[in-house]
Homo-oligomer: A and B are copies of this chain.
Amino acid sequence: MVEIRTPIEVDDAIRRVMQHAVKGEKTSIPLEESHGFFLAEDLISDHAVPPFDRTRYDGFAVRANDTGNGLSKLEVVGEIGAGSIFEGTVRENEAVRIMTGAEIPAECDAVIMLEHVEEKRQDGKTFIEFTRKLTSFENITKTGEDTKKGEVLVQKGTYINPGIMALLATFGYSEVPVVKQPIVGIISTGSELLSVNAALEPGKIRDSNSYMLIGQIERAGGIPVSLGQFADELEVCYDQVVAALEKIDILLTTGGVSVGDYDYIPDILKRLNANVLFNKIKMRPGSVTTVAEVDGKLFFGLSGNPSSCYVGFEMYARPVIRRFLHMEKPYLKRLRAELGADFPNANPFHRFVRGKLVYENGKVIAVPVGLDKPNIVTSLAEANILIVLPGNKEGYEKGEQKTVISLEEQSGVTWGDWLKGGELV
């Protein structure tokens, strides 16, 4: 009655899943709607920045050679607003009034700030007087000082944040090449599940995993589609999965993967002739995560336990979504942090403990949330890391340096960096 499953290592599981990850199609959207999408192509500068020698301050464009020891007195022969250019020629001992950001006249090579001059009218002409000696290019940003033309400024697969929107605008991307987001289907299983608006009944709980997964899918960059609950009969469940696979890029189920009497997932996968990549992993929670490949699409059988479902998604489904979005660094960031609590119990399993990062005087501390509550959903609300505790015989002590996995960042790491990220489990 009890099926024997062979657990595999976490990194091995991730590697197997990613061998079947596919990249999504490209499309484009208007720049003003691009926040939170992922670039489908490298962002390239179509011109130098600044595109011309530009003043950093309001003031007067001058020739540095005209300034020197003692008082300089220059005639103001014109003015340049931002966005205008000076049409004339600036001769010796002449200056041009210039606004922040405007282009420096060809003959000038320095700017004296407005605050540093005295203006005088004399014989119907305007003069400025100052004592400062200027050096060539003082207060000027040179052409291309920020960026050369043709430079790759942002790699494809990068999350579009406000700074990247500014770059896209600067380089003329009124339409932004982005990746079509993967459609990620969710089927929940379990006859103990009530819908959210149902009153509680003896022995039953409300379905929380499918809503949690909606949030996780959106955070990862996918489009969630709720496909309801599995029926009670195997035949109908099978049809549901077949119908779902037509509509989605990635399929998730939650519940029904533990070794028990009413678990249909293994039977469904067998009938689908699926390539089961693994059905047990050396970790807790999430050890009974099953992943299979069906006709080129990935099927994630996540646990019905909220913590296991959460961790299983982040560890195995999220990199697949990130790869779909063409991200060059689809893996979760790992970092080292100091344990903020004792973990006294020996545990033969590698544990992934929900926690949050706290910064204290330049140190990073990993504080567990809801540690003593095994099935808790409340702890998931606060969690922004998973603390990695390799299986051992002694437990761990507060203050030890351990690896944690960051959950809320929109940037990631390469496979090489993931492996270098700390202790592997």
Contact = CB atoms under 8 A, between A and B. Distances in A.
Interface string A267-308: 000000000000000000000000000000000000011100
Contacts of A401: 361-362
Interface stretch (A17-25, A235-243, A375-383): A375-383
A6 interface: no
A169 B336 CA distance: 33
Interface stretch (A65-73, A154-162, A343-351): A154-162
A335 interface: yes
Contacts of A226: 32
Interface string A235-261: 000000000000000000000001111
A36 B35 CA distance: 13
Given A32-B226, A260-B100, A114 B215 contact: no
Interface in A135-180: 141, 145-147, 153-154, 160-174
B208 A170 contact: yes
Given A196-B174, A209-B166, A378 B146 contact: yes
Interface string A35-56: 1100000000001011110101
A366 to B, nearest CB: 9
A166 B208 contact: yes
Given A202-B52, A336-B361, A161 B81 contact: no
Contact of A169 (B102, B196, B361, B373): B196
A166 B376 contact: no
Interface stretch (A82-90, A323-331, A388-396): A82-90
Contacts of A210: 169
Contacts of A211: 31-32, 165-166, 168-169
A153 B196 contact: no
A386 to B, nearest CB: 12
B306 A114 contact: no
Interface of A: 1-2, 31-32, 35-36, 47, 49-52, 54, 56, 58, 79-85, 97, 99-103, 114-115, 119, 141, 145-147, 153-154, 160-174, 190-193, 195-198, 200, 202-216, 218-219, 224, 226, 258-262, 304-306, 310, 335-338, 359-364, 370, 373-383, 401, 408-410
